[in-house]
Amino acid sequence: MSVPARVVHKRRATITDLPLYYSGQLLKKLTKEKDFKKYYGELRGATLFLYKDDTQDTYTEKLDLEKLKSMKLESPYQRKAPTIFTLTLDTEEVQLKMDNSDTGEEWRGYILTVVNKKIPRKLQLLPGQMLLLQEALDQERKRKPPIARPPLPPRPSFLPSPSASPIPPLPKDKPGHSAPDIPVCFYSVTRQEAEQMLEANPEYGGIILRPSTLANNYALTLRQLTPSGPVMKNYRVASTNSGFVIELDTAVMVSSLNDVLKYFLEKTEYRLHPYMPSQPYDTCINASPAPKCVNITSPTPKTVPKAQVAPTLRSQNKEELLLPPTKEDGEYVIPDDQCPDHNLRLVQLDGELRDVLKFRRENLYTASDKEEITTYENQTTGKSPSCTVQWATRNAAE
């Protein structure tokens, strides 16, 4: 006895809280596998759950479409013919096959809408199908808002000023673009400037992504080595609501400009790399010179005047102090650094000192003469020697 579809749907809803947008039969295989396997698929949020059939409660496989890089149509759209899509993910490439083109167009519309958060243009769907797709888009936007695009990098300083016909700027933030950043090799230059950059500095890289002369579109310029020499090639990248289309013989759609760059790197077998000017770096570390000592003292030391004290004169008696000074001719060298008044005072003191010494010598000589006379008188008068000594001692003390 088969389980009703309503019961199966409730059981599956208990496994995940993601909203169900679309479901149906499809075939799936990896690119390295030969045969397709039949599954029943449910698109819940941005995840594709695969079941063995529509009665299975738990899924067998799941594909995280948030990591979808590109969705390529392997065969042109033909009514009532199978449709095959190649989905490029981070770690693998998966092919999905639908029995008819109408079902394939619905799957394509829902997958690109939930991934890019915008309905793709040129969908061949009925008005009722478009309304259901719009409801799914509104619900997904509320569940997970789109990521805003950062501003453009500045124009390189070594490039000339833009030409008279300005290049259209990058379009404003688009909900349909999930690229979180801009490729490192993106420059707002013309085709001629890009080719000059690649030709002048091939060591910097061989791929430049730039704006196109068409509004809201891009171009890719690369320099490729061939047996006959280097060749410049330019490719157009169209910006659409569902992503970016690389206009080759077989158009390739990717979800971001970084994926455009990665596609060209893979196709050239990584023999080319993005154009990135090298920055100079220092290779030697120099020590800073030692700081100069700061002299906190005055450059010319101040001369502190020395105190000059006149010598103290001690007289033996009152008569010596009362004697007026007398001048005596003598030679005295006066220093140049002394003031005239002070030098004159020193000369006067020197003269006075000479007078005092002379006077004392005369007194000493007079005292000696008196002592001799007294001794002689004592001898003639008959006085004792002791009296003579006492008298001489008293006179010496005086």
State residue 288's pLDDT score: 76
In angstroms, the first-to-last Cα distance of the chain is 162
For the chain, percent of residues with pLDDT exceeding 90: 23
Calculate mean pLDDT across residues 49-78: 84
| Residue pLDDT, tens place only, 291-332 | 666 555 555 666 666 655 555 555 555 555 555 555 555 455
State residue 22's pLDDT score: 92
State residue 284's pLDDT score: 82
Q: 73 with 64: CB under 8 angstroms?
A: no
| Residue pLDDT, tens place only, 135-166 | 999 999 888 876 555 565 665 665 555 443 33
Residues 6+ apart with CB under 8 A from 343: 334, 335
What is the Cα Rg of the chain in Å? 59
State residue 358's pLDDT score: 80
Distance CA 12, CA 58 (A): 7
Q: Pseudo-torsion of CA 165, 173, 241, 274, nearest 10°?
A: 70
| Residue pLDDT, tens place only, 69-100 | 888 887 666 666 788 889 988 888 999 998 88
CA atoms in the 13 A half-sphere facing the CB of 243 = 25
State residue 6's pLDDT score: 63
Distance CA 246, CA 258 (A): 12
- Which range has the worst mean pLDDT, 85-89, 274-278, 297-301, 370-374? 370-374
State residue 54's pLDDT score: 82
Calculate mean pLDDT across residues 245-267: 90
Residue 260 or 78, more confident? 260
Three-state SS across the chain? CCCCHHHHHHHHHHHCCCCEEEEEEEEEEECCCCCCEEEEEEEECCEEEEECCCCCCCCCEEEEHHHCCEEEECCCCCCCCCEEEEEECCCCEEEEEECCHHHHHHHHHHHHHHHHCCCCCCCCCCHHHHHHHHHHHHHHHHHCCCCCCCCCCCCCCCCCCCCCCCCCCCCCCCCCCCCCCCCCCECCCCHHHHHHHHHHCHHHCCEEEEECCCCCEEEEEEEEEECCEEEEEEEEEEEECCEEEECCCCCEEECCHHHHHHHHHHHCCCCCCECCCCCCCCCCCCCCCCCCCCCCCCCCCCCCCCCCCCCCCCCCCHHHHHCCCCCCCCCCCCCCCCCHHHHHHHHHHHHHHHHHHHHHHHHHHHHHHHHHHHHHHHHHHCCCHHHHHHHHHHHHHC
Could you tell me the pTM of the whole model? 0.40
Mean per-residue pLDDT of the chain: 75
Instruction: Judge whether residue 186 has pLDDT over 90.
Output: yes
Calculate mean pLDDT across residues 228-249: 89
Could you tell me the pLDDT band of residue 365, with boundaries at 50, 70 and 90?
Answer: low
Phi-psi region of 32 (alpha: psi -120 to 50; beta: other; left: phi over 0): alpha
Instruction: Judge whether residue 264 has pLDDT over 90.
Output: yes
State residue 175's pLDDT score: 42
Q: 378 with 387: CB under 8 angstroms?
A: yes
Calculate mean pLDDT across residues 116-128: 86
For the chain, percent of residues with pLDDT exceeding 70: 63
Domains of the chain: 5-143 (2.30.29.30), 191-268 (3.30.505.10)
Q: 187 with 210: CB under 8 angstroms?
A: yes
Using DSSP bridges, classify how beta strands 93-98 and 20-30 pair: parallel, antiparallel or unpaired: antiparallel
- The position carrying tokens 């009532």 is 80
Q: 118 with 176: CB under 8 angstroms?
A: yes
